[in-house]
Each structure stands twice: as structure tokens, then as C-alpha cells.
């Protein structure tokens, strides 16, 4: 039984929550309790694609993704080399109007120190020989991008956090969470934890949690789908992650000679406790048709399993990280728009530095200013869900 007064309570043991606990503990922040009704990584983290790319839409995202990659590589090197691999990332289109956008994307990424380039079709075919590229008019490539096993990386964060003294309260449904006097209090089963600060890192459940304590933020859980397939291709080597922009299908290597494919994103809000968890027939059919036309070398791949998870959108496709307006001692790290694994390590490190910065908090605040929840004012209203591998340049993150 846990019944204690802590310095911080983290709600959610996905990769972001576990990474935050790890970073706070490493900075000797104090007593830390992580709560989750399931086990670490059992939510969206365990269903994520695991592509970590710097082909993103503004400098803040690029920097955070790069920090995440470096951290994942270090953790994997020391504890589990199978959890992280550098494999590169290629994207292409048959749309003539999209070609100049791709080229402009490369120029923009280079200004942000991303190792990106235009990729000719001969090189593309060499990198992914299972594809058919007739009609492709433009492609781009970033060789330093990687793939990670999200659930395992979340476990590595949790294991390291436990070693540094972090308490985990797992497996019991939440009975109560709210402000009591000068602290935040959580009760789950027979366990009660109290802390002067609380961080909502609950993924798809963040919207409900924040609303329950009277501090709602503009969040929208949405369903997305992926599948693991087993190709008949012998000796399938580590290949680049790829994204056909026109078909909106991505493929990445998976362990044991398998491949992981998506994107079955649905642009409608769902209840994270009541949604179909299996991949639906329409999504599986779309994958089969896409493989037949674009990846004939994988067209006969055996479907191992197809599933669905829930990600969380925000109105401007940027996460919500930092103090919750009007709520003393309450913080959030949520709303990653399907890019949670790409950002989790770097984003958690920045929030940890802010929480533990003391007199230098103004400096650390600048590192998360573009994603502060305070950029949204007034009661949340419905908004269109627009996640995905956008090619658009985002707004200047300084404002």
C-alpha cells in the first residue's frame, strides 16, 4: 500500500510519463509517484508505430525529436540494443504539384540542420527493392532517422526510474483525483498518493482527467490503426521506413523479419474506453490494395495482426506541455497528435528541467514556450482533427 506525501505525482505510465519520471529522478527532484490503471506502455505507447524522424514542421519539433533519438540510442546501447535502430526515412509522391513542396521541405529542413536530401528513383529502388516506383515524380530522404520499439523504450525509462527510487502505483482503477488543500491527491484501489505538484501525462485520458478537476484543455482523442505483416521475402534486412504520401501508407521494419504498416487514422473524436481495438476490414483492404500497387514484393505478406489505438489531437497540431492555466501545481504533457514517441524523450527532459529549475525557470520556460497550454484561452470548443506527416511549414515557434 502506498500512502505518502510526494513532491510530484505523474498520472500516466506511457513513454512520456515514464520519461518524465526518469528525468526528474536523475535531477534528484525529490519523491516521485507514477500512477497508471494498467502497466507501463499499455496504452497508446504499446500501439505506436515507433518511427522517429526529423522530417517535421518547425525547429522546436526537430530539436525535440533529435534529443529523443539521442536519448533512445543511449538507453538502447546500455540496456537493450534491439530497441533502437537507425534505418533512414524516405517519402515520395506521384503528384506533380507536391514535388516543389517536397523540394521546399528539404531546403527548410536543411536550414534546421536536418540531414535531408532529394532522392532519385534509382537510389530509392536500391534502398527498398520491394517497391514499384513507376510514376513517382519526387522523393526525399533523411538517413539519420530511426525506429524504436515504443513499449520496450517505455519499460526502459520505467526500470531506470525505479532504480532511482520512483514509486509506481499500477493496475488499480482511479477512484479520486483532485486538489485537497495545498496538494493534489489521488486514490486508486487501496493506494493514496499526495503531492504538491501533479502532471497529467495520460494520453487519450488526459482530456477527461483535466476536465474532471475543472481545468479542461482543447484535446480530442482519435482512433488510428496499424498492422504487422510477415512477408515471404527471404532474409529481409533492416530497410528504411517509407511513406507513400499519395496512398497515405507508411511501412517500417519490425523484428523477426516482419513489417509494420499504417496509416489507418480516423478523423473523428472517440471515447478512449469505448472504441474498436481491432483493425477493421476497410483498413486491412486498403493496406492490401496499396501493397499490390506500390509494394508488389510484399503483396503476399501474411497478416499477423491488425489493431487500433487512440492518439490525442490539439487544434494546432502541437502538444500541450507545461503549467495548466489557473491550476496551482498542475501540469500537462499530452496532445502529441500521433507523434508522442518521436517527441517523448526530449519533451519530458525539457519539462523536467522546467519543474526542477527553481530560480532559472524563466530560462527553461523558453524551451517549452511554443507548446505551453496557456496559448489556448476560454472554454475548449470542437476543432478539426488534422494529424499526420505534414509537409507544411508550421508557425514560428517563438510566438
Are 263 and 249 within 8 A, CB to CB?
yes
Q: Where in the chain is the domain with CATH 3.50.50.60?
A: 3-46+151-219+315-375
Question: What number is the average pLDDT over the span 170-179?
Answer: 95
Rg (CA), the chain: 21
Q: pLDDT band for position 392 (50/70/90)?
A: low
The C-alpha atoms of residue 65 and residue 52 are separated, in whole angstroms, by 7
Residues 46-98 pLDDT 10s:
788 899 999 998 899 999 999 999 999 999 999 999 999 999 999 999 999 99
Q: What are phi and psi of 134, to 5 degrees?
A: -65, 135
Question: What number is the average pLDDT over the span 226-236?
Answer: 83
Predicted confidence (pLDDT) at residue 396 exceeds the cutoff of 50 = no
Are 308 and 282 within 8 A, CB to CB?
no
Residues 106-155 pLDDT 10s:
999 999 999 999 999 999 999 988 899 999 999 999 999 999 999 999 99
- 3-46+151-219+315-375 CATH choice from 3.90.25.10, 3.40.50.2300, 2.60.40.1120, 3.50.50.60: 3.50.50.60
Q: Where in the chain is the domain with CATH 3.30.9.10?
A: 89-143+221-313
In the structure grid, which three cell numbers stand for residue 327, read together? Answer: 491550476
Predicted confidence (pLDDT) at residue 395 exceeds the cutoff of 80 = no
For 102-110, the CB contacts below 8 A with 24+ separation are: 102/138, 102/139, 102/140, 102/391, 103/138, 105/55, 105/140, 105/391, 106/140, 108/393, 109/54, 109/55, 109/62, 109/142
Is 0.85 topped by the overall pTM?
yes
Predicted confidence (pLDDT) at residue 238 exceeds the cutoff of 90 = no
Angle formed by the axes of helices 59-79 and 340-355, nearest 10°: 90
pLDDT value, residue 5: 84
- CA 141, chain centre distance (Å): 21
Are 261 and 49 within 8 A, CB to CB?
no
* Paired residues of 185 in beta bridges: 178, 194
Residues 8-34 pLDDT 10s:
999 999 999 999 999 999 999 999 999
Predicted confidence (pLDDT) at residue 381 exceeds the cutoff of 90 = yes
Predicted confidence (pLDDT) at residue 250 exceeds the cutoff of 60 = yes
The string of DSSP letters for 82-131 reads GGEEE--EEEEE--GGGHHHHHHHHHHHHHTT---EE--HHHHHHH-TT-
Q: What is the mean pLDDT of the chain?
A: 91
Higher confidence at residue 232 or residue 261? 261
Neighbouring residues of 334: CB distance < 8 A, sequence distance ≥ 6: 12, 16, 200, 201, 202, 203, 206, 217, 219, 312, 319, 320, 321
Portion of the chain with pLDDT greater than 70, in percent: 95
The C-alpha atoms of residue 319 and residue 347 are separated, in whole angstroms, by 9
The string of DSSP letters for 299-333 reads TTPEEEEEEEEEEEE-TTS--EEEEPTT-TTEEEE
- Looking at domain 89-143+221-313, its CATH architecture is 2-Layer Sandwich (3.30)
Amino acid at each position: 500500500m502506498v500512502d505518502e506525501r510526494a513532491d510530484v505525482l505523474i498520472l500516466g505510465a506511457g513513454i512520456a510519463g515514464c520519461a518524465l519520471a526518469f528525468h526528474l529522478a536523475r535531477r534528484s527532484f525529490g519523491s516521485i509517484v507514477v500512477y497508471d490503471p494498467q502497466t507501463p506502455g499499455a496504452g497508446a505507447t504499446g500501439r505506436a508505430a515507433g518511427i522517429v524522424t526529423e522530417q517535421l514542421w518547425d525547429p522546436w519539433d526537430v530539436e525535440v525529436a533529435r534529443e529523443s533519438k539521442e536519448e533512445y540510442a543511449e538507453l538502447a546501447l546500455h540496456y537493450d540494443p534491439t530497441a533502437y535502430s537507425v534505418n533512414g526515412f524516405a517519402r515520395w509522391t506521384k503528384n506533380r504539384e507536391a514535388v516543389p513542396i517536397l523540394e521546399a521541405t528539404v531546403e527548410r529542413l536543411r536550414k534546421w540542420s536536418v540531414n535531408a536530401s532529394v532522392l532519385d528513383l534509382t537510389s530509392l529502388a536500391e534502398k527498398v527493392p520491394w517497391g514499384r516506383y513507376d510514376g513517382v515524380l519526387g522523393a526525399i530522404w533523411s538517413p539519420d532517422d530511426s525506429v524504436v520499439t515504443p513499449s520496450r523504450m517505455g519499460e526502459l525509462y520505467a526500470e531506470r526510474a525505479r532504480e532511482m527510487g520512483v514509486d509506481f502505483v499500477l493496475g488499480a482503477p482511479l477512484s479520486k483525483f483532485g486538489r485537497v488543500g495545498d496538494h493534489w491527491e489521488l486514490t486508486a484501489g487501496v493506494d493514496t498518493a499526495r503531492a504538491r505538484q501533479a502532471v497529467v501525462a495520460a494520453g487519450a485520458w488526459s482530456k477527461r482527467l483535466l476536465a474532471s478537476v475543472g481545468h479542461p484543455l482543447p484535446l480530442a482523442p482519435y482512433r488510428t490503426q496499424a498492422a504487422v505483416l510477415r512477408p515471404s521475402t527471404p532474409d529481409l534486412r533492416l530497410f528504411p521506413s517509407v511513406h507513400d504520401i499519395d496512398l497515405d501508407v507508411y511501412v517500417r521494419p519490425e523484428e523477426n523479419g516482419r513489417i509494420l504498416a499504417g496509416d489507418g487514422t480516423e478523423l473523428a473524436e472517440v471515447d478512449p474506453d469505448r472504441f474498436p481495438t481491432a483493425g477493421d476490414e476497410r483498413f486491412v483492404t486498403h493496406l492490401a490494395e496499396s501493397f499490390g500497387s506500390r509494394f508488389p514484393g510484399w503483396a503476399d505478406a501474411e497478416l499477423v495482426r491488425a489493431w487500433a489505438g487512440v492518439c490525442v489531437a490539439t487544434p494546432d497540431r502541437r502538444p500541450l506541455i507545461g503549467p495548466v492555466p489557473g491550476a496551482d501545481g498542475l501540469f500537462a504533457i499530452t496532445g502529441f497528435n500521433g507523434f508522442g514517441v518521436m517527441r517523448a524523450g526530449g519533451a519530458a527532459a525539457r519539462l523536467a528541467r522546467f519543474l526542477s529549475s527553481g530560480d532559472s525557470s524563466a530560462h527553461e520556460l523558453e524551451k517549452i514556450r511554443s507548446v505551453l497550454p496557456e496559448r489556448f484561452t476560454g472554454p475548449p470548443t470542437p476543432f478539426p482533427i488534422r494529424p499526420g506527416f505534414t509537409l507544411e511549414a508550421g508557425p514560428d515557434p517563438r510566438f
